[in-house]
Amino acid sequence: MIEPGFATAPGFINNPASVDYEFRFIGTNNPEKALLRLRITNVAGDAQYTEYHVSARIQECYNISGKLVGKYINEYLFR
């Protein structure tokens, strides 16, 4: 789910963009079998008060989720 959020003038009501993700890591020998499923829900961007363009707010969600997945892979899969 992608919620684009909205931004108004500073001091008024603002809502950050948020996105839900599901990642599936599959093996190349057997693509039907998922080796790992990772679900991240309600990843909210930080650009809620400074960015009025929808694309920039959603881009921030992708940026944050990419960092989370990279950190997860680094911590738990490559120990």
Averages of pLDDT over runs of 10 residues in the chain (79 residues) are 75 80 88 86 73 79 89 83
Total domains in the chain come to: 1
Q: Is 39 exposed, middle or buried (0-12, 13-18, 19+ CB in 10 A)?
A: exposed
**Residue 52 is which amino acid?**
Y
Q: Is the pTM of this model over 0.75?
A: no
Range of the domain at 17: 2-77
Tokens coding 4: 């684009």
